[in-house]
Each structure stands twice: as C-alpha cells, then as structure tokens.
Amino acid sequence: NAGVTQTPKFQVLKTGQSMTLQCAQDMNHNSMYWYRQDPGMGLRLIYYSASEGTTDKGEVPNGYNVSRLNKREFSLRLESAAPSQTSVYFCASRGIGGNYEQYFGPGTRLTVT
C-alpha cells in the first residue's frame, strides 16, 4: 500500500495562474481532507469530504475548490493563485470507526510569486 500520495511535490506559480493539486489514497477510506500548513499556525482545514460525492468547507476555504472524483481521489484547485496561498498543502484520509486517526500524504510545497 502506498497510503496517501500527493502530486506534485513542489510547484511555483505566478499570481493569477491556476493549478490543481492531486491526492489519492489506496486504503479504501471514506473521508478525505485538505489542509494548509503555515509557520506558527499549525494545520488549518481547507475542505473535507466525508464520503464519496460530498464536500464541505473547512476553516479557510476562500480561494479554493475541491472535487471528490471517486472514493480514492480528492483534488484541490486554485483558480487564481495569490501570494497568500504560498504554503505547504497536505492531504489526509480516514477510515470508519476506530480512533479517527487521519493518515497524511507527504505534502505539496507551493510558492506563488
């Protein structure tokens, strides 16, 4: 099992450009999440998907859109990138029951100039 994978690992965008961050999990998990990590601010939830076919806003959704393409894949789109979106983006997934542990991908480091 690869767990949670994310592409790309690094990306540099110019202000106004668009891009999609990809995430996939092979653990048959129902719930998937997108976070951003900024120094001194921990992880903040952007969007989540409780199950295939549903998506909901998290704490900081402005400037982002998501698609839960199928049970495995959950993508994050920046339509018009801004310097404030420079961050490290993490995708995570979680199965049903248990201790609600989330499994994280390795992250995408995005710089917007």
Partner 1 sequence: GEDVEQSLFLSVREGDSSVINCTYTDSSSTYLYWYKQEPGAGLQLLTYIFSNMDMKQDQRLTVLLNKKDKHLSLRIADTQTGDSAIYFCAESMRGAGANNLFFGTGTRLTVIP
The burial class, CB within 10 Å (0-12 / 13-18 / 19+), for 83 is exposed
Q: Figure out which of the listed residues 49, 74, 76, 78 binds partner 1, where binding follows CB under 8 A.
A: 49
Q: Figure out which of the listed residues 64, 94, 110, 112 binds partner 1, where binding follows CB under 8 A.
A: 94
Give φ, ψ of 85 to 5 degrees.
-95, 5
Closest separation between CB of residue 84 and partner 1, Å? 19
**By three-state DSSP, how is residue 84 classified?**
helix
Q: In terms of CB distance, is 31 or 87 closer to partner 1?
A: 31
Q: Which of 89, 73, 70 is nearest to 81 (CA)?
A: 89
Q: Which of 20, 45, 19, 24 is nearest to 106 (CA)?
A: 24
Q: Figure out which of the listed residues 17, 43, 72, 86 binds partner 1, where binding follows CB under 8 A.
A: 43
List the interface residues with partner 1, window 11-40 (CB under 8 A): 30-31, 33, 35, 40
Q: Which of 91, 71, 102, 113 is nearest to 22 (CA)?
A: 91
Stretch of 18-26, 63-71, 78-86, 101-109 contacting partner 1, by CB under 8 A:
101-109
Residue ranges in contact with partner 1 by CB under 8 A = 4, 30-31, 33, 35, 40-45, 48-51, 56, 58, 90, 92, 94, 99-107
